[in-house]
Structure 1
Amino acid sequence: MPARDRALACLVAVLWGLNFPATELALAHFPPLLLVALRFALLAVPTVLLVPRPRVPVRWLLGYGLGFGVLQFLFLYTAMDVGMPPGLASIVLQSSAPFTVLLGAFLLRERLSGRQAAGVLVAVAGLAGIALHRGAADGGAPVAAVLLTLAGGLGWALGNLSSRLARPPRPLHLVLWMSVVPPVPVAAASLALEGPDRVLTALTTATSSTTGWLALAGLAYVVVLATLLGSGLWTSLMARHPSGVVAPFSMLVPVAGVSSSWLLLGDRTPVVEVALGAVVVAGVLVGATGGRAAGARRPGGPAAPDPLPQRRTPGAGRPLGPSLRA
C-alpha cells in the first residue's frame, strides 16, 4: 500500500474520530435514529436528482447501504439505548476491522500474511485493553449492549466487503448512492422506536436555541466531512486495495475520537488509554507496511489467482485490481 494511500486512510480515521464530538453536539437535540435518517437523507435527495447511478451491480450498492448505513447504526444506537456507554461503543464498534479482515479472507479468498495477522492482533489487543479500562470506568455495560455493538461492527464489515466487490469506477458516486438506501428504513425505525411527537419536536425546534444550532453544525460535519469526504476516500481505498489492508486503519478511529474529545470537549483521557492507543497505532502500522503484492508469485510457484474479476476504469491504462498487501 503506497505511503499516499496510508496517509489518506489515516486522514479518514481523523475525520471519523472528529465525528464523535460532532455527533455528541447533534445528539443533544436530535434523537439518535432520526439523526441517522437525516444524515443520509440530506445526501440522498440531491444524489437522486443530480448524480448518475454508479455503474456497479445493484446487489453491491444495496449491500453497502444496508451494511454500512442501516445495520451498523440501527444496532449501534439500539445498543446505546439499552446501556452501552458512548465512549465504549466507539471502541467496540471497531470490531469491524477484524471482521472485515476475516470475512475478506474466507469469502473473497484474500490472503492474510503473517505480518497482517500480527498487526491486527496487536491492534485488537490495544482496543480490548481500552474497552476493558473504559468499561470498568463507566461501570461496565450490559452483555446485550456489547453484543448489539458487535453486530453493528459486523454490519460495517459487510458494507466494506460490498464496496470492495462493487469496485466503482467513481467511488464518490457509490458513496452518494449508498445514502439512498438507509433513510426510509431508519426513518421508519425512528418513528416506531422514538415516537412521532419526539421526531416532530426535534425537527420544528432546531433553530430556536443555541443547542439546536450547535446540533445543526454537528449534523453538517457528519454529512459533509464524515460521510461525504470520509466515506468517499474510504470507498476509493477499498476499491484499490484488499480488504485486509485497508480495514485495520479503522481501528485508529477511537484513538482520534478520544483525542479530539479531549481537545474539543475537555474530556480527560487516562494515561493508560493513551498508551493503549499507541499500541493500536503500532499494530496498524505493522500490518500496513512491509507487505508484498496480493497475488504475488510465490517462490518456485505460480502467481496466486485474483479472486475478483478485474475491471478497467475509463481512461486508465491498467486494470483496477488488488494492489499491495499490507
Structure 2
Amino acid sequence: MKPADVSIAVLVAVIWGLAFVAARVALDELSPALLTTLRFAVAAVPCLLVRKPDVSWRLLGAISLTLFLGQFLAQAFAIAHGVPVGLFSVIVQSQALFTIAFAALIFGERPTPMQTVGIGIAAAGLLMICGTVGYDFSLSAFAIAMICPISFATGNILLRGARGAPMFDLFAWLCLAAAVPLLALTLVTDGAAPTWQALTHMSLMSLACVLFLGAISTSIAYWLWGRLLRDHPTAQVVPFGLLVPFVGSAASSLAFGERFGPLRLVGMITVIGGIAVMLLARRAQSLPKVA
C-alpha cells in the first residue's frame, strides 16, 4: 500500500474509534432509536444524487437490517444502558470471530489451524470480559452489546451477494433502507411528541455528534474503507481495523475517565490478540495469490 493509502486506513480507524465517544455524548440527549435514525438519515442524503445499485430490494433490506440497523441500534442501546465505550469498541471487533464461524457453517469454509487458534484466543478473552459483567453494567446490557458483532458478521456474509455494486452508491442506499424502519420504530417506542421535542431542543454538541456519525463515520469512512478494499488485498486492509478499539479505549479514557480492571483489561487485550491471529492467518493464505 502507498503511504497515502496507509494514512487513509489509519484515518478511518481513528474516525471509527472516535465515533463511539460521539455516540455516548449524543445519547445524553437522544434516545438510542432516535440517534440511530438520525445517523442513517444523514448518511442517506447521497441517495438524492446516486441511483440505486443493481441489487434486489430483498437483498438490500437484508444487508441493511443486519450490517447497519441491527449493529448500530444494538450499539446505541448497549452504550445507553451502561456498557463502557472503550470496552464496547473491543466487543464490536469480535465480529471477525463470528464472520469466520458463519462462513464455515453456511459456505463450508473451514477455518485454517491458525484461524482456529485465533478463534479460541478471542473466545477466551470474551469469557474473561463476561467475568466482569454485573459490576458496572448488567448482564442484559452485555447481551444487547453482543447483538452488535453478531449482526455485523451476518451483514458481512450477506454483503457477498452484492459484489460488483458501486461501493458508495450501495452504502448510501443501505443507509436509506435502515433509516425508514428506524424512523417508524422511533415514533412507536418514543412517541411523536417526545421525538419532536428532542429534535427541536437538540444542543449544538449533539447536532455535531449526529453529523459526525452520519456524514463522517458512516458515509465517508465506509466509502474510503470500501475503496481500500477494492484497490488492495483484503489482508492488507483489514488489520488496520485493529486500531479502532485502541482509539476508542484511549478516547473514552480521556473523555469519560473510563478505567479497566485487571481481568477486563486482560480480556480486552486477549480478544484483540485473537483477532490479530485470525487476520494474520488470512494474510498468510493470500500471499501466494498476491505473489
Same fold (TM over 0.5): yes
Alignment of 1:1-326 (within 5 A): 12-44=12-44, 46-78=45-77, 83=81, 85-87=83-85, 90-133=89-132, 135-138=133-136, 140-142=137-139, 144-206=140-202, 212-236=203-227, 253-270=244-261, 273-289=264-280, 290-293=283-286
TM-score by length of 1: 0.72
Amino acid at match of 1:51: V
How big is the shift at 1:166?
A: 1.0
How big is the shift at 1:107?
A: 1.9
The structure with the largest alpha-carbon Rg is 1
Identity of aligned pairs, percent?
A: 32
How big is the shift at 1:96?
A: 2.8
How big is the shift at 1:11?
A: 5.2
CA–CA distance in 1 between the matches of 2:270 and 2:90?
14
CA contact under 8 A between 1:92 and 1:149: conserved in structure 2? yes
How big is the shift at 1:236?
A: 5.0
Partner of 1:315: none
Amino acid at match of 2:155: G
Question: Where does the alignment leave 5 or more consecutive residues of structure 1 unmatched?
Answer: 207-211, 297-322
Spell out, residue by residue over 1:13-52, the C-alpha distance to the aligned partner (whole angstroms, 9 max, x if none).
43322111111121122221111111111122x3221012
Structure number with the higher helix fraction is: 2
TM-score by length of 2: 0.80
CA–CA distance in 1 between the matches of 2:130 and 2:167?
33
Question: Where does the alignment leave 5 or more consecutive residues of structure 2 unmatched?
Answer: none
Amino acid at match of 1:287: M
CA contact under 8 A between 1:91 and 1:130: conserved in structure 2? no
1:262 and 1:95, CA in 2 relative to 1: closer, same or farther beyond 3 A? same
Amino acid at match of 1:47: P
Greater shift, 279-288 or 20-29, is seen at 279-288
CA–CA distance in 1 between the matches of 2:188 and 2:23?
22
CA contact under 8 A between 1:163 and 1:235: conserved in structure 2? no
Greater shift, 104-113 or 191-200, is seen at 104-113
CA–CA distance in 1 between the matches of 2:9 and 2:102?
20
Spell out, residue by residue over 1:105-162, the C-alpha distance to the aligned partner (whole angstroms, 9 max, x if none).
22233342111222232233234423433x2431x513x4444433343222221122
Equivalent position SS for 1:281: helix
1:287 and 1:153, CA in 2 relative to 1: closer, same or farther beyond 3 A? closer
Amino acid at match of 1:220: L
CA–CA distance in 1 between the matches of 2:180 and 2:266?
42
CA contact under 8 A between 1:101 and 1:243: conserved in structure 2? no
Aligned length: 286
1:229 and 1:32, CA in 2 relative to 1: closer, same or farther beyond 3 A? same
Equivalent position SS for 1:137: coil
CA–CA distance in 2 between the matches of 1:9 and 1:225?
14
CA contact under 8 A between 2:42 and 2:215: conserved in structure 1? no
1:23 and 1:183, CA in 2 relative to 1: closer, same or farther beyond 3 A? same
CA contact under 8 A between 2:37 and 2:183: conserved in structure 1? yes
CA–CA distance in 1 between the matches of 2:127 and 2:14?
20
CA contact under 8 A between 2:21 and 2:252: conserved in structure 1? yes
Spell out, residue by residue over 1:280-304, the C-alpha distance to the aligned partner (whole angstroms, 9 max, x if none).
333233222252139x7xxxxxxxx
CA–CA distance in 2 between the matches of 1:102 and 1:262?
32
CA–CA distance in 2 between the matches of 1:109 and 1:239?
25
1:198 and 1:72, CA in 2 relative to 1: closer, same or farther beyond 3 A? same
How big is the shift at 1:93?
A: 4.4
